[in-house]
Amino acid sequence: LIMEPGVATSMLSCPTVPLSNGLQIPILGLGTSHQGGYSHEAVVYALRDCGVRHVDTAKRYDCEERLASAVAESGVPRRDLWLTSKLWPGDYGHSSARQACRASCDRLGVEYLDLYLMHWPDAMVPGRSSREVRAETWRALEQLYDEGRCRAIGVSNFLIHHLEELKDDCGVVPHVNQVEYHPFQQPDDLMSYCRQEGIVFEGYCPLAKGQALSHPVVLGLADKYGRTPAQVCIRWSIQNGVVTIPKSTKPIRIMENCQVFGFSLMDEDMHSIKTLHSDRKIIHLTFPLWRA
């Protein structure tokens, strides 16, 4: 594992991507999740020792209160952090969405969120269309945005037709769309649409839950550049202009994932990874969970 000198300094100067409202989101962040995807020690280490300033969470992950504790222990001022959380479909609807946002802020110990996302497009509300519920919910997020409770608002796992409907039904175009993105899952049409509409494309699961790390193409590039397979995958993602949020509960892996600004992949190597697309999805959510 290559250890670059001054890694914290390099992360503090992490490149940013402009949102349509003028805010700048760090292109690399730390993801969290449920099912063993949270570690207090790792988050403190990421913030304090690796210079990470962008953290992504959600109500569904059930770690917002623990994240607040880690942020406090890190000593990083709130103004220096980019905090994203997500609204679970069980809280869709106008009043419930507003209440859920306030509750997330309370659990995180903050007055505002830098980014608040609708977690999934399917609302699963009996007797009502998902489109109708999405529009009602999005209007609540627009209010939260106008009030300053959320500095930016967006969506997650939305496809082009979902975004088109939202554009027709509401006023504010989402600032961000966060979707699965890795060498095996490259939704080029969705990426092109988002960029055309001024929606920042954000990718989760950049290592394909580790499945990309053993692919011969990735291994070959890791050897060529003297980097790890994870660093190659993350570098490829951010070099494509994608806001990228790898997850890990291991401090050494978090350090590794942050060390991706000291090298660049050549055009032919970027293309080699592009050819790995097979429309393989790693994240599968069953419908009963969507009601949770």
Three-state secondary-structure class, residue 82: strand
Q: What is the pLDDT confidence band of residue 124, given thresholds at 50, 70 and 90?
A: confident
Please report the pLDDT score of residue 287 as a whole number.
Answer: 40
- Tell me, what's the pLDDT at 17? 98
**Mean pLDDT of all residues in the chain?**
93
Cα separations (Å) of 113 from 15, 17, 56, 147, 175?
Answer: 20, 17, 11, 12, 14
Catalytic residues: 61
CA angle 203, 3, 214 (to 5 degrees): 50
pLDDT at 285 over 80: no
pLDDT for position 5: 44
Count CA atoms within 13 Å of residue 39 on its CB side: 14
Looking at the whole model, is its pTM more than 0.85? yes
State both tokens at 55. 């953290």
Domains of the chain: 7-284 (3.20.20.100)
- The total of other beta-carbon atoms located within 10 Å of residue 220's CB is 14
Reported as a single tens digit per residue, the pLDDT across 147-197 is 999 999 999 999 999 999 999 999 999 999 999 999 999 999 999 999 999
Q: For residue range 56-109, list pLDDT tens digits in order.
A: 999 999 999 999 999 999 999 999 999 999 999 999 999 999 999 999 999 999
Q: What is the pLDDT of residues 9-43, one digit of tens each?
A: 446 579 999 999 999 999 999 999 876 778 999 99
CB contact set of 128 (below 8 Å; sequence gap of 6+): none
Handedness of CA 55, 59, 61, 66 (dihedral sign): positive
Whether 119 has a binding-site annotation, put simply, is yes
Contact between 118 and 144 under an 8 Å Cβ cutoff? The reply is no
**What pLDDT score was predicted for residue 281?**
87
- Judged against a pLDDT cut of 80, whether residue 288 lies above it is answered with no
Which comes out higher in pLDDT, residue 256 or 279?
Answer: 256
Asked if pLDDT for residue 263 goes beyond 50, the answer is yes
pLDDT of residue 152: 98
